[in-house]
Each structure stands twice: as C-alpha cells, then as structure tokens.
Amino acid sequence: MSEFQTPVRKNKVSDDKITIPPSPFLNRLGYGTGVSVMQLVRSPRAGQIRSPWALKMLNKRVKQHKVYSERITIEAELLQRMSHPNIVGFRAFSKTKTLYLGMEACDVSLGDLIEKRVEDSGEPFTPKQILKVATDIASALDYLHTKMQLLHGDMKSYNVLVNGDFVVCKLCDFGVTLPLDENGVFDKQHAGKAVYFGTEAWSAPEVIHGGEISNKTDIWPLGLTLWEMMAMMPPHTQIEDDTLDDSVVNLDDSAASMEDDFFSEDYGTRPLVPVNISEMTYAEPLTLFCCCTETLPSLRPSAATLATASADMLAHVMTL
C-alpha cells in the first residue's frame, strides 16, 4: 500500500483527560493568531516511555475566543480522520476546563529554523534539504487534496514541522481548511460561511486579485516556502537599495505604513531569484520554485506531480 492510500481513521474525537500544568511550567513551542503551542512532557508509565505532546491552546489575552475555539475544534476533528506520515499526528482533544488539542511533538517549525539559521550563519539551506521539504510537503498536500478533498488554506514555512536534520517534514495547522469538489475547486456549496484565510505574503495571485480558488492555490505558497529556504527571509520582504527612500528606511509610524504598502504591491507575484543563489547549484529547487509560482493556476503542477518530481530530483542529488 502506498503512502497515498493510508487508511483514514474512523474514531471520533475524544475528551481524553490529562493533567495540564499551569502555562509557566510548559515550554512554548510556537504561537499563532489566537493560540499558543506548548510542549507537554508526559509522566512515564511502568516500564513505558511516553513521548511528549504538542498542545495547541487558546491564548487568553486574545479576544474572539469563540472563533479560535471553533478552529481548534475543526482541526481536532480533521486530524483524527487523517493518517499520513507527512501530516502531524493527532493525540488528544478536550473541551473541559482547558480547551486543548494534543498532537505529536516535532522538533521545530521550518519558519523558526530559517530564523535561527539567519542568526547563526545566514547560509541558505542545501538543495537536498529544500528538495526534502518539497517531497514531504507535496506528498502531504496530495493526500489532503485527493483523499480528504481539502485545501490547506495557510501553507507557509511556519506550518511545516521538521524532525532531525530533515529526516521527515510534516504539515500542520488545519484550522482554516476549505472543502474541494471532485475537480479540486473550492466547493462554495459545502463551505458555509468559510472563506480563504491564508497569510497575504504567501498568497497566490487568485487570492490577492480575485479568481478561482482550487488545489493549485496551495501550490503557490509551497513554492514561496522553497524560495524562503534559499533567500533566508519571508517572501516579499527583500529591499533593493534604490527602491526605498530614507523616509521608509528610517521608520516612523507613517513610514511603517508606507513600507507595508510597498511590500503589499508585490503580493501575488513571483519573487526574484535570490542574489546569493547559484542557478547551477540550485537548479532543481529553482525549477520547482518556478513551476509552483506560475501566475496561471493551470500551469502549476498538482501536488502528486510535484511530489514525484521532487522525489526524483532528491534521489539524483543524493547520488552526486
């Protein structure tokens, strides 16, 4: 049985009772809008080592708790139905007293890994590492698009988890998924009031400028995620020396607004190849990046095609 034929779990979301220590005693793994992700180190049972969990919990300082509670609930229901080696695993869910979603704990998000690398050396990731991300995450998206008929809706580096030295990469954060029809197009009839959420800097042209949302809308931000690993910065944040005047570089409140406007003009466009990247050494990652960021969705590869192509490229690079 191939990884794309992994059986779907049929069990319902459970209210597993575990003891959650106060937040100061939990290690923060990450955070998002309205939520925090904490690490829970579970007490071992007799003769048994128990792996840690990542707990997604509401951020009590943020308003609109109902909205974020619903997102966590939706994500819990989805995760328990999914089973794929490149999708973060479900562990537990509870709505009693403290609302939390328990998931398998992975080492670090790709976004955090990029930030740390910038601080340490600033060197881009290797073609092998980039192709591994492309292979694993495209595989996860293929499962999501075809087996679950869902659009991830917020693909970016911070929603990619990495274990070890890119031993395995996993897709996470399914709180804003959207239904797809049999043609891979956003199914408005079954979406209710749900709309595309995303993060603007990673969003595809059809999101920014209006157009048909489909499974190809997840492919564009995956391409930008590969670009991040080469450019060592979020998409559309690069500044050329002659493009901003002093009023923008030396930011005050009004200049900050001008900077936001400057960057937002580039949203939904393909960033330039980073100047620090050798087009010969990074030929394979750059090919994937360009394929994923075609303006016309019909020209972008499907997740299945991308997974196969990146796996073949990775196998080739491994032999060099």
Nearest C-alpha neighbor of 217 from the set 300, 132, 307: 300
Q: Which residues are catalytic, by number?
A: 154
Q: Tell me the DSSP string of the chain.
A: --GGGPPPP-PPP-B-------GGGSEEEEEETTEEEEEE-PPPBTTB----EEEEEE-TTSS-HHHHHHHHHHHHHHHHH---TTBPPEEEEE-SSS-EEEEE--SEEHHHHHHHHHHHT-PPPPHHHHHHHHHHHHHHHHIIIIIS-EE-S--SGGGEEEETTTTEEEE---TT-EEB-TTSBB-GGGTTT------GGG--HHHHS----BTHHHHHHHHHHHHHHHHSS-TT----TTTS-HHHHS--HHHHHHHHHHHHTTTTSPPPPPTT--TTTTHHHHHHHHHHT-SSGGGSPPHHHHHHHHHHHHHHHHH-
